[in-house]
Amino acid sequence: MEDYLTATLLGSAWGLLTRYLMLKSDYRQFPGYPHGYVTHLSLGLVASLLGSLAIPAIFEKEFTAVTFLSLAATQFRDVREMERKTLSSLDMTKLVPRGPDYIEGISRVFEARNYLSMLMALIVSGTAYIFSLQAAIPVGLAVLLLAIRLMRGEVIQDIATVRPGEIRFKGPNLYVDDIHVMNLGSEGARQKVMERGLGVVIEPKDDDARSMLANAGQRMAIAHDAALQLGIYKDVDTPEFMPILRRDLDTGRVVMVIVPIEMDMECLLLAVSRVPVLESAYSRPLQSRAGAGAAD
């Protein structure tokens, strides 16, 4: 009985610690308020308790307890839906929205991290129950480090080269390098773009990256993150200063024009480089026979 209780408590604590370490508020501003932390830590605790009970329950032949894992899966799907609705509502008030693809990716991450807390608790409690408390801690540390590494995912700098681009006008037509971006009719807006605007060129490293950058949701995520971190020189009634990305259909290059509050090119390149590659945009056409053949 004592071994059972010790394993359960250790697994639950480890699972909750895992959820806490992955629950951080960064520039994406979510969760950025106390109630958000309470909600996700509470769900992480529930997940940890259920995971820590699984192995001891099986060894004690209490198979009914294991069925609660299926109930947890239902609850965590509801978490994903809750995050999607919350972020979609918040997106309506942002000057530069995240877009549905970015929101869906964040929702999936919150759901997956609850499963991860459950898995951590299961591994640690199982190791403590079957072997010893001394063996459970190093196993838990090793699996936790592996999980954190796997949860990072790719960012733009992994699939593309990000460099400065030259902003110029030909009459009312705005270009970044040789790529046409848009027609800007207002003389005042053109002058402001030339004074404060920054241009970025994103060059895909291969055809897989070109396919990912072609995704409209991925480009919305780039514009949102850049505007969020450097600020945006616009208000609700100045749509001409909205960050805009355009793709060169021949080469797959993507260019962005942004009029930021902080006119720092180095920081802008860093912000764009660190934008995550969205799950909805992730594709590997070169892994198929047709895609590889077309690229040759």
Q: Based on the fold, state whether residues 162 and 273 are members of the same structural domain.
A: yes
Q: Based on the fold, state whether residues 108 and 165 are members of the same structural domain.
A: no
What does pTM read for this prediction? 0.86
Low-confidence ranges of the chain (pLDDT < 50): 1
Whether residue 296 lies inside any domain: the answer is no
Predicted local confidence at residue 19, as pLDDT: 86
Contact yes or no for 217/101 (Cβ under 8 A): yes
Predicted local confidence at residue 264, as pLDDT: 93
Predicted local confidence at residue 253, as pLDDT: 95
The total number of structural domains in the chain stands at 2
Instruction: Quote the CA–CA distance of 226 and 15 in Å, as a whole number.
Output: 34
Q: Based on the fold, state whether residues 139 and 169 are members of the same structural domain.
A: no
Q: Based on the fold, state whether residues 136 and 227 are members of the same structural domain.
A: no
Q: How far is CA 24 from CA 18, 32, 69, 278, in A?
A: 12, 9, 26, 19
Q: Based on the fold, state whether residues 64 and 164 are members of the same structural domain.
A: no
- In sequence order, the 6+-apart residues with CB closer than 8 A to the CB of 37 are 23, 31
Of 86, 121, 150, the position where a domain reaches its end is 150
Predicted local confidence at residue 196, as pLDDT: 93
- Helix, strand, coil percentages (3-state) for the chain, rounded to 5, are 60, 10, 25
Maximum C-alpha span of the chain: 81
Predicted local confidence at residue 229, as pLDDT: 92
Whether residue 294 lies inside any domain: the answer is no
Q: Based on the fold, state whether residues 58 and 98 are members of the same structural domain.
A: yes
Q: Based on the fold, state whether residues 106 and 161 are members of the same structural domain.
A: no
Instruction: Quote the CA–CA distance of 226 and 270 in Å, as a whole number.
Output: 9
Whether residue 295 lies inside any domain: the answer is no
Which domain does 177 fall in, by range? 156-286
Whether residue 205 lies inside any domain: the answer is yes
Predicted local confidence at residue 237, as pLDDT: 81
Of 131, 150, 169, the position where a domain reaches its end is 150
Predicted local confidence at residue 277, as pLDDT: 93
Whether residue 292 lies inside any domain: the answer is no
Q: Based on the fold, state whether residues 198 and 266 are members of the same structural domain.
A: yes
Whether residue 216 lies inside any domain: the answer is yes
Question: Left, alpha or beta for 38 (phi > 0: left; psi -120 to 50: alpha)?
Answer: alpha
Q: Based on the fold, state whether residues 66 and 143 are members of the same structural domain.
A: yes
Predicted local confidence at residue 33, as pLDDT: 62
Of 94, 129, 150, the position where a domain reaches its end is 150
DSSP 177: T
Whether residue 74 lies inside any domain: the answer is yes
